[in-house]
Every structure is written in structure tokens, then in C-alpha cells.
Amino acid sequence: MAEIQLQRVSKRFGPILAVDALSIDVRDGEFVVLLGPSGAGKTTTLRLIAGLERPDEGDVLIGGELATAVHPSDRDVAFIFQQYSLYPHLSVYDNLAFPLRSPRRRSTESEVRKRVEAVAGMLHMESKLGNMATHLSGGEMQRVAIGRALVRQPRVFLMDEPLSSLDAKLREELRFELKRLHRTIGATIIYVTHDQVEATTLADRIGILEHGRLVQMDTPREVYGNPLCLSAARRLGSPPINLLPPNLFDVRVVPAGTATVAIRPEDIVFEEAHARDVMSLTVLEYSPLRHLLILDRDGTVVVATTTIERNFSPGQAVSVSLPVRSLLYFDRDGGRIVT
Ligand code: ATP
């Protein structure tokens, strides 16, 4: 079993508290994606699990065992980075075989061959085994880097933006592969990305980090529909959620203490001008292909998406309603006010 637990783990770098009494529970075989702004502590969290950093406080457990006492190379954890680090002077075969040929493994050459061929098959790289690593495309190199981790059959994969240096098409391709691999091998994966599509398609659960703390850990659907704080609400959604001042709304609607009212662009409803409780806004911009409208209300920009076929032109007045059931309220500290 390879469940991972961080129990009130803290890590400082001089004056910076990179990870702050962080507690996370990742289940065996789970695919968890960590999302958060730059500097939130995502990479440091992975490095603490891998043993590349030592916590100042708290414990890291892998498979229920205290990992802090275990040397990084004995943790049975593979770390895959954004920059693939292959041996350029070796062939794909030898790159894949390398981890298996360490003296500690004592694998025979036929065992090595069997394992390398199996992994090359999983990654559709059979025909490239004889190529030199430097003669591969970026996507192929990253496949080999993932393969190098796979041959060792670790219990845990830590992936730090593994696809971010690839172009959009390759990223998509490898994303499908990763999801498939996860289903096949059933390993526990913790994956850091800034890409929402990757996060929402790959993750069983998304962990939102902010200032070295976990502010929410839930399924993508739950984080999207029921964010526990402003930071989680902003992390998912394209175009992003609208953050509006409370004075835009009827005072009877907004709970006391509200500093921000949030609504998803697709929850804004276009109405006839004479309907009840409508708000009038001015079109700033309309993108017909994406059905995306940028609207203005007294200097506040509101983004809406619409499925209705209508021609909106800049300067035109439109009537919308912001249904109360779709509104989320946040206090000054970004905490959710649940009504
Ligand atoms: P990004 O999305 O930009 O990669 P991140 O969420 O992965 O950010 P970390 O790399 O974990 O964030 O960094 C968290 C904080 O700790 C940042 O303020 C960073 O500058 C700091 N930090 C990380 N590693 C070190 C280090 N070795 N020495 C000093 N400060 C560090």
C-alpha cells in the first residue's frame, strides 16, 4: 500500500515559510493534483515526500511508515520533472535499462530486457529503442523520462509539471497516456501543474495550496462547484469566476460580512429588458466563436458566456440576471460565507 500522509509538516527556507503545518492524506492508488499560485509550496511538498528536503516539523508517512527515517533512494518513489534528464550518449533502450542495472538491483540482462520492452510497449516506444536519446522529439524524450521511472515499478510517482515544456498537441497526447498508465499500474501519483485542463482531467482529487497550506482537497467537480475559499474559486474555471463588489447587488441578497460576490461566467442569464430583477450592462467585447461576452457595469467588468445565438456589438446594452442560487459569497479574508 502506498498511501501518503503529511502530518503538520513545515519547511522554512530562511525567513520563508514554504510549507506551513501542512496535512495531506493521499489514498493508495489515488491521482492527486496540487494546484496553487506560484510560491504556494507545491514543489517543496513533492520534495519533502521524495526526501529531497527534510521537514523542520511534522512527519511524512508512506505506506503508513515514517518516511523521514528512510533514505530518499529507499523510499520507492519516482520523481519526474519538467526537464527530462536523459543520458544523451545512451540509446533509449539503455536509458530505460539504466535504473535496473544498478548493482543493488542485481537484475539479470534478460530480466532487464523483459522489463524495458514491457515499459516501451506501454509508452508506444518499441520502435525507438535503438535511437540515441538526443535524436528524439521533446515528447518522446519525456516519454522516456517517464519510462525510466516506470521500469523501477515504484509505489509512488511525484510529477512536477511533467508536460509543461511540450507543445499543446504533445501535452494532450501524453496526458491521455498518463491517465491510461495510472489505470494500468495503479500507483499513487501526486502531480503538480498550473494547467487546469490537466488538473481536472487527471485528478481523482485536487489539492489547492495557498501559502504552504492546504485550503481544499476535493474532486474537481466539488472544487469547481463548491469552493471553500476565494483562492479555490479562482483556481478553476476558464474564463475565470467573476469577483464582484457587493454593492452591485440588492442589499437583501448579500449576507453580512461579504466583501466579494462571485459568479461563474456560464451562470449569468440573459433576460429580456422588461423581466424582473434584471441588471443592465454594456457590451465591451463579444467573441462569437467562444460565445464570450465582456460586459461593463459602472466600471466593473463582468465576463459571461452564452449559448444563445445573438449578435452582440460593443456599446450595446444587455439585460442579465445573476441568479441567487449561483452566487458565492466571500469575506475579507477570502473565506466562504455559506448561506
Ligand atoms: P511554482 O508554481 O512557482 O513552482 P511552488 O508552489 O512550487 O511555486 P515552491 O517552489 O515550493 O513553490 O516554493 C515555495 C516558497 O519557498 C517560495 O517562496 C520559494 O521562493 C521558496 N523556496 C523554495 N525552495 C527554496 C530554496 N531552496 N531556498 C530558498 N527558498 C526556497
Atom in ligand 1 nearest the alpha carbon of residue 45: 11
Distance 192 CA to ligand 1 centre (A): 13
Question: Cα–Cα distances in Å, from 68 out to 45, 105, 153, 164, 182?
Answer: 13, 23, 21, 30, 26
- Mean pLDDT by groups of 10 residues along the chain of 339 residues: 94 97 97 95 96 95 90 87 83 93 83 92 89 87 88 91 84 86 90 93 96 96 96 95 93 91 95 83 91 92 88 92 94 94
Is the distance from CB of 53 to CB of 44 less than 8 angstroms? yes
- Same structural domain for residues 158 and 121? yes
Residue range of the domain that includes 315: 242-337
Distance 234 CA to ligand 1 centre (A): 21
Q: Which residues line ligand 1 (CB under 6 A)?
A: 13, 16, 18, 36, 38-44
- Same structural domain for residues 195 and 211? yes
What confidence score (pLDDT) does residue 69 get?
83
Cell of 109: 540482462
* First and final C-alpha spacing in the chain: 40
What confidence score (pLDDT) does residue 24 get?
97
- Same structural domain for residues 263 and 125? no
- Same structural domain for residues 149 and 114? yes
- Same structural domain for residues 247 and 187? no
- Same structural domain for residues 220 and 319? no
Strand order in the sheet with 65-66: 16-26, 4-13, 57-62, 65-66
CATH of the domain at 293: 2.40.50.140
Distance 145 CA to ligand 1 centre (A): 23
* Alpha carbon 177 to its chain's center: 16
* Angle between helices 138-151 and 168-185 in degrees, nearest 10: 20
Measured by CA distance, the residue closest to atom 21 of ligand 1 is 18
Number of structural domains (the chain) is 2
What confidence score (pLDDT) does residue 333 get?
95
pTM of structure: 0.90
